[in-house]
Amino acid sequence: MFKKPIACLLTALILMLCGQVSAQDPWMSIPPAASMPTSTDAGYAAVNGISMYYAIYGGNKGTPILLIHGGLAHADLWAAQVADLARDYTVIVADTRGHGRSTNDGSAYTYELLADDYLALLDHLKVSEVHLVGWSDGANIGYKISATAPERLASHFAHAGNVTLDGVDPSVNDNAVFGEYIGMMAKDYSGMSPAAEDFDGFLNAVATMWGTDKPGGFEVLAQVDVPTLVVQSEHDEAILMEHSQNIAEAMPNGGLLVLKGVSHFASLQAPDMYNAAIRDFIKPE
């Protein structure tokens, strides 16, 4: 789906040519993530033949929030969300199979398998139900869980997901900000992964999943009654606005939120706005 990192000079050139935007516009760059707060519990769960890293924050007795990151990423990108939400909720993060600190057993990446991993993690943690906040591939994993195990989700905040391949903006392959993201994740992978020397193989394996048809598409969503907020960034580099609108309309209990002034990486570009959107959707129990 995406090409390898684009040179920094190309990013600078695009910024100069786009006279209508300022270098200060949040959607034109990706800020580094903050440092993660101290967890109340962390470790590795043996699930589906892999070792899956997880961490838990806060200690509220209500329904926990599970944050699922995007493709190529890792749980630590949620630092700003964890710091805010853990004041009032128990927050669970994890590294998806093969991402960050988690291992893979050689299996091909599919959203069905990744959804099964997260369900197995919840079983391991003895958590029956969560509010799921999914970003990009995390939202796609959430759509799978919504369809196969809806009883495990109290709600789904689904940011920048897609349920058919035509929901992806083809220009993402040449987008400088996405190139920047891939470069950032390559650096993080080299410092976190048990397979640190094989980022190219990892990238190719995930990209194969990105480019594979998603079975069911909109027909499956029409049967999902999990309360779902479909979240679209105004300047998303990867997901088409119309596609998010169609997802929201297809779901019996779906709504649409457009985040202004940000891109696919809204949780890093405008964390206060992002956190408020999560809180407004979940609301106190």
Instruction: Say yes or no to pLDDT of 5 above 80.
Output: no
- Secondary structure (H, E, C), the chain: CCCCCCCHHHHHHHHHHCCCCCCCCHHHCCCCCCCCCCCCEEEEEEECCEEEEEEEECCCCCCCEEEECCCCCCHHHHHHHHHHHCCCCCEEEECCCCCCCCCCCCCCCCHHHHHHHHHHHHHHHCCCCEEEEEECHHHHHHHHHHHHCHHHEEEEEEECCCCCHHHECHHHHHCHHHHHHHHHHHHHHHHHCCCCCCHHHHHHHHHHHHCCCCCCHHHHHCCCCCCEEEEEECCCCCECHHHHHHHHHHCCCEEEEEECCCCCCHHHHCHHHHHHHHHHHHCCC
Its domain, for residue 212, covers 8-17+25-282
Task: Report if residue 2 sits inside a domain.
Answer: no
The answer to whether residue 3 is domain-embedded is: no
Q: Is residue 106 part of a domain?
A: yes
Residue 233's pLDDT band (cuts 50, 70, 90) = very high
pTM of the complete model: 0.92
> Do the strands 65-68 and 50-57 form a parallel or antiparallel pair, or are they unpaired?
unpaired
pLDDT per residue as tens digits for the range 72-116: 999 999 999 999 999 999 999 999 999 999 999 999 999 999 999
- pLDDT band, residue 26 (cuts 50/70/90): very high
Least confident of 22-26, 138-142, 262-266: 22-26
Domain count, the chain: 1
Is the pLDDT at 35 greater than 90, yes or no?
Answer: yes
Mean pLDDT (the chain, rounded): 92
Residue 281 has pLDDT above 50, yes or no: yes
Q: Is 55 a residue whose pLDDT tops 70?
A: yes
- Residues 172-226: tens digit of each pLDDT: 999 999 999 999 999 999 999 999 999 999 999 999 999 999 889 999 999 999 9
What integer pLDDT is reported at residue 283 of this predicted model?
A: 86
Question: Is 277 domain-assigned?
Answer: yes
Task: State the CATH number of the domain containing residue 245.
Answer: 3.40.50.1820
Asked, for residue 1, whether it belongs to a domain, the answer is no
Return the residue matching tokens 């349920």.
163
Over 80: is that where the pLDDT of 3 sits? no
In a domain, 275, yes or no: yes
Residue 274 domain-assigned (yes or no) = yes
pLDDT digits (tens, 9 = 90+) for 144-156: 999 999 999 999 9
Which percentage of the chain shows pLDDT scores above 90? 88
